[in-house]
A and B are shown apart, each in its own frame.
Chain A
């Protein structure tokens, strides 16, 4: 697979504090790479270093095989960035905003016109072309922010938490748009602390904490780092302690918690744990209202590796 980004031994210090500590990774052509980590883990600092917006103390950054510098305009023309903060002109309407940012890359008027309309369609702002940012809801504003960043059809797109504070409908629209961009050939670096989004759209994940990579691989590969295999949740009223003790002794059970009439069971191994549990409940005539099973999430992996949750 062809490398689009190559980062080697990247280190960024703020005085004595290491925001990024010897970070090395690659981004392959045509993939969506999820850069996952809690707030302050170094995701945005990494992106800013990659884009030459920040000086760094050590390491090398190559994008499209060339060393990235502030004056690398030939590389920059292939890059699109959507920052976490909304970056649009209050004085311009939707179409003018997209046209302006696209115009920083595309000189030809006709091509630009087509690209602007494509971007509007991609993010679903067809009915808001003449709206000013103040007239848009938070979700629509985020969509405009994305359209401004990707209108020039870049080969490499950085999306820095583009779905923060977005309603579910806009979130789905944005995620669908991102997948479409990947399908059209773009390589995407997607930073977020929403693990659900990463699981939906990312081909590969890098989990960062305190400026260092603590796990990387496909979502399945990363999930395998978790010592648990399955999590089962059962809604059951007034479960007696003797049953709790018996469940603890069932095959493959690692941990049992009972709180507010909800029973949480984690399994370390096994494939048919849920069936075995249902059989046990039936035999003992324990009535339950709801039962469901989950595979370990990236949050579980993160919790296990760092002792804290991703959204901390």
Chain B
């Protein structure tokens, strides 16, 4: 009990920096949480198009413009080369369509008039390009079969107005799953930083060279002493984990009471224990309180960036992901990403989750063994 009581007293004396650090992490986390990721959602979007019509606004040309207007957001920009380029650069428009003079006449007379385009080359501009291509293809087919412009327009409109209903069969609550993944991915940083910061701060007192000497020569078994210290620190980590779980309940709500929510929570628990082993190892290696902030940045921030806690894994370069494979954070975040896309929870779908969790447990065992070896070696001072 004496070790635990002293642990609490040391924590109490460092309470101000611990609370401030936790608050900063929470504020940072909530700010990050409020940003949206719609990668799993279906959402109707319209591209922003600028149409510069150099033809007369009648017949087929007018119909093309009406079709584009109906299916996109028409943006008005002054017909000036620089203004148009600026609008594209600043993403005010995704696609610029320049209809040439005598377009209608030339098209109907098989002269293949060229419509100039400029695009931002993103998915919105692809959508605009698809619309334009579709219109021209349909118009070309009817033009080869019919001679009356009115008939061509009528048939084009009829063809292009055909709709297909799409039924999304997925029962996943994509919005909430995205939120949960965001929150729990960010917890990689919060938990790791919190553990390393607080545990190193506490261990720097307990593992101070002179205090350690006094402990080693005491009648308390040093292994037992280390075990008591580890248990005391575990309590802190469990409290931190619980705090994060409660915070996720408050921010995400009842979705956390699902199997998906439970797996996120369990994954975070395993990662918290792994973070404890990392923090304990670092705490055994360093004695300098001033170095703790720097170490937190290197360990927590570094692994969060490398493993996709802030930027989704699919956007990271292959080289970075390859490096991330040697870090426990990668397997924690990867698991979160897997949970997000699990449709039906069963043994088969949980296999990759269990594989990643096993790797996290192996990391924890590895770090603990290294800590034990270092601690044993440090019992002798020369």
Contact = CB atoms under 8 A, between A and B. Distances in A.
A79 B208 CA distance: 21
A121 interface: no
Q: For chain A, what secondary structure do more than half of its interface residues adopt (helix, strand, loop), or is it mixed?
A: loop
Contact of B210 (A14, A79, A83, A100): A83
A100 B221 CA distance: 15
Given A55-B380, A83-B210, A105 B217 contact: no
Contacts of A54: 380-382
A270 interface: no
Given A51-B217, A55-B382, A73-B221, A92 B9 contact: yes
Given A53-B216, A86-B210, A104-B215, A91 B380 contact: no
Residue with the highest number of chain A CB atoms closer than 10 Å, among B2, B14, B208: B2
A88 B9 CA distance: 14
B288 interface: no
B226 to A, nearest CB: 13
A124 interface: no
A152 B381 CA distance: 24
Contacts of A91: 9-10, 12-14, 205
Contacts of B214: 81, 83, 87, 101, 104, 148-149
A96 B9 contact: yes
Interface string B363-382: 00000000000000001111
Contacts of A53: 213, 216-217, 380-382
B42 to A, nearest CB: 56
B2 A14 contact: no
Given A53-B381, A73-B219, A105-B220, A87 B208 contact: yes
B211 A105 contact: no
B6 interface: yes
Contacts of B213: 53, 83, 87
Contact of B382 (A48, A74, A77, A96): A48
Contact of B217 (A14, A79, A90): A79
B147 interface: no
Interface in B132-184: none
Nearest to B1: A103
B219 A77 contact: yes
A268 B211 CA distance: 49
Contacts of A70: 216, 379-380
Contacts of A73: 219-221
A224 to B, nearest CB: 36
Secondary structure type dominating chain B contacts: helix
B38 interface: no
Q: How large is the interface on B (under 10, 10 to 19, 20 to 34, 35 or more residues)?
A: 20 to 34
Contacts of B380: 53-55, 70
A96 B205 CA distance: 14
A50 B381 CA distance: 13
Contacts of A148: 214
B218 interface: yes
Interface in A105-145: 105
A100 B220 CA distance: 12
Nearest to A79: B217
Given A76-B218, A148-B214, A100 B379 contact: no
A86 B209 CA distance: 10
Contacts of A25: none
A198 to B, nearest CB: 24
A131 B12 CA distance: 16
B210 A85 contact: yes
Contacts of B382: 14, 48, 53-55
A89 B211 contact: yes
Interface string B1-44: 01000100110111000000000000000000000000000000
B219 A104 contact: yes
Interface string A42-83: 000000100111110000000000000011011011010101
A70 B13 CA distance: 32
Nearest to A85: B210
A82 to B, nearest CB: 9
A90 B380 CA distance: 24
A76 B214 CA distance: 11
A86 B217 CA distance: 15
Interface in B214-238: 214-221, 225
A266 to B, nearest CB: 42
A116 B214 CA distance: 17
B2 A100 contact: yes
Contacts of B219: 73-74, 76-77, 104-105
Contacts of A92: 6, 9-10, 13
A81 B214 CA distance: 7
Most buried by A among B9, B219, B220: B219
Contacts of A76: 217-219
B214 to A, nearest CB: 5
A77 B220 CA distance: 8
B111 to A, nearest CB: 88
A101 B218 contact: yes
5 contacts: A53-B213, A54-B381, A76-B219, A87-B210, A88-B211
Interface of A: 14, 48, 51-55, 70-71, 73-74, 76-77, 79, 81, 83, 85-92, 96, 99-101, 103-105, 148-149
Given A54-B381, A71-B221, A91-B9, 15 more contacts: A53-B213, A53-B217, A53-B381, A55-B380, A70-B379, A73-B220, A74-B219, A76-B219, A87-B213, A89-B211, A90-B205, A91-B205, A92-B9, A92-B10, A104-B215
